[in-house]
Structure 1
Amino acid sequence: MSVESRFTLGVVIPVPQPHRDTLRAWRREFGGQATEPIAPHITLVSGSYLNTWDKAAAQVRRVARQGEPFQVRLGAALTFRPASDVVYLPLESGAESCWELHRALLGDALRHESCFAYHPHLTIAQNVPAYRLDAAQAALHAVDLSFTVESIQLFDTASGQWNLSEELRLG
């Protein structure tokens, strides 16, 4: 499938069960309905591709094949405020592996577009009133969740919404 370069894509780390349901409940409670359609994830790249969808997808597949499974440990909620109205769970371990994947993905046909520097994390709440951000940070002060990252997911926005295109095993 060849798509114009103005379409965007996303490459994310999905959170496996049972943590996916736990995180989804926290996102629903503190982040509201806007978080409902989006499964908990750690973003590796969110941006546009420079040539064709086929070339971009081939690059993501190549990076996945060259990657290795690794452990992620999520810690107590932090915030990006005042720079951005976001409460997130930081990666206590696994951040360097995310950085390696991020850099490898940007090596050829992809570009990352963000107002902020890449920072591996899992968003709990954003763009909600301050009292909800405060509540999320207070309630999630003792989070300690670990899981093995075994795959990455490739999403496209060809129809104007995020659509899962492929799940790719690492290694």
Structure 2
Amino acid sequence: MSTRRSASCRRWVSDMDNLEPRFTLGVVIPVPQPQRETLRAWRREFGGADTEVIAPHITLVSGSYLNTWEKAAAQVRQVAGQTASFTVQLGAARTFRPASEVVYLPLLDGAEECWALHRGLLSDALRHESNFAYHPHLTIAQNVPPENLDAAQAALDQVGLSFEVSSIQLFDTRGGQWSLSEEIELG
């Protein structure tokens, strides 16, 4: 009986090894200056104080990583190294409502490259946990009253910002909050 219990315990411990504590990571495209300040001003005006602490960005992956942090970071570096720089063109504000109370700027150019990065990042050591399908965008306002969302969508109906993407950023929550771990050049 103890042998059976021991095997059962070993199996349980083995299963627990596969379920080691995981941390959240994020891989984003940072927005360079001067576009970053323009977007910060819009986010401040329509998104409120909560947007101040988060720089404007396009999320590529946000979720848990499997195995070790180093394996996850290596995956990000490998995918970045295989990706050439590209241009992002942001268009007029849209909304995810009624599914989600968000106003965002869509990518008119650069969405295909973001999709390719997203798919590459999700292979091997990374996995994506989300209630929503991936949709490359830049959030302007969320978790604010509907009138703020309406105002953002109306005011930003003629947006035409573009910028060159030459790097991605890797964030982690190993210290209990989001922190920039690494900026990784493309190509």
With structure 2 as the length reference, what TM-score do the two structures score?
0.88
Distance in 2 between the 1:108 and 1:159 partners?
24
Name the amino acid aligned to 2:108: E
Q: How far apart in 2 are the matches of 1:140 and 1:30?
A: 10
Aligned to 2:7: none
Matched to 2:22, the amino acid is R
Deviation at 1:98, TM superposition (A): 0.1
In 2: Cα distance, 1:6 partner to 1:36 partner: 27
2:109 counterpart of 1:93: yes
1:67 to 2:83 alignment: yes
Which residue of structure 2 aligns with residue 48 of structure 1? 64
1:16 is aligned to 2:16: no
| Alpha carbons 1:71, 1:147 under 8 Å: kept | yes
Higher strand share: 1
For the pair 1:142 / 2:129, whether they are aligned, the reply is no
Alpha-carbon distance in structure 1 between the residues aligned to 2:129 and 2:119:
13
Deviation beyond 6 Å, 4+ runs, structure 1:
none
1:170 aligns with 2:186: yes
8 Å CA contact 1:30–1:135 kept in 2: the answer is yes
Q: Give distance in 2, aligned partners of 1:98 and 1:22.
A: 22
- Identity, in percent, stands at 79
What are the within-5 Å matches in structure 2 for residues 20-31 of structure 1? 20-31=36-47
Which residue in 2 is equivalent to 1:83?
A: 99
> Which one-letter code corresponds to 1:98 in the other structure?
C
Q: C-alpha separation between the residues in 1 aligned to 2:175 and 2:151?
A: 35
Runs of 5+ in structure 2 lacking a partner?
1-19
How many residues align? The count is 168
- Summarize deviations over 1:91-143 as a string: whole Å, max 9, x none: 00100000000000011001111110000000000010000000000010000
Q: CA deviation at 1:5?
A: 4.2
1:158 Cα deviation from its structure 2 partner: 1.2
Amino acid at match of 1:143: V
**Aligned-partner SS, 1:112:** coil
RMSD (CA atoms)? 0.7
TM-score of the pair, normalised by structure 1: 0.97
Query: 2:139 corresponds to which residue?
Result: 123
Return 5+ residue gaps in structure 1 as ranges.
none
Look up the match of 1:157.
173
The structure with the larger Rg is 2
